[in-house]
Chains A and B, each alone.
Chain A
């Protein structure tokens, strides 16, 4: 009963380093999402994928790339990390047309 699994849970990067956040869901959902949460803010959408092979920009896509590797997995890549990307990142998924989105446990990323 895993749901949405994100790795890693915590990460510290130096400015300019790259890394990929991994997300996998085992609920056979078509749609997957990446959000970021900054202190005092709600979640903001970075990218989403309506189905395998498609991706679209959300509200704050600059500095990120995504890959929908297959139906289960949706990764978020930071090519050159900046301190402004220090945040908690959430992956989510939902069944096509169904209302509720399920969230992963979050990845706390610090860029120094």
Chain B
């Protein structure tokens, strides 16, 4: 069963506007974490933001914020004041509980392609 669902294959946003990228997840664990990664056309994976399941406040990192709604099992990424350089694939991922001395498996969604329009 798919554990991470990103329902928006592609999104468009006007430069300087805010955009929300959706992510829902499925887990029966109490301890887990949610990540967002950015993958530009050059291909590298860039860490954006992390939210732990026990964190009470929504995570923020500069223009990125994570809208974490635990009861709804959603972890949407909000990008404020979009820039042309934000055009990329965005992946939501969930960390399984830690195993083996601090290692963990990341389960990724299929991604959302964001295009920022000038």
Contact = CB atoms under 8 A, between A and B. Distances in A.
Interface string B26-40: 000000010101000
Interface residues of B, number: 27
B68 interface: no
11 contacts: A30-B103, A42-B107, A50-B102, A56-B100, A58-B105, A59-B105, A59-B107, A95-B102, A97-B102, A103-B44, A106-B43
Contacts of B104: 31, 94
Given A43-B91, A99-B95, A50 B103 contact: yes
Contact of B108 (A33, A43, A56): A43
Contact of A51 (B35, B100, B109): B100
A89 B98 CA distance: 23
Interface string A36-63: 0000111111001111001010110000
Given A96-B103, A101-B47, 14 more contacts: A31-B100, A31-B101, A31-B103, A42-B4, A42-B93, A43-B108, A48-B105, A50-B103, A54-B100, A94-B104, A96-B102, A102-B47, A105-B44, A106-B44
Q: Which of B37, B44, B104 has the most CB of A within 10 A?
A: B104
A94 B44 contact: no
Given A101-B47, A106-B43, A42 B101 contact: no
B101 A96 contact: yes
B106 interface: yes
Interface string A6-41: 000000000000000000000000110101000011
A41 B4 CA distance: 11
Contacts of B35: 99-101
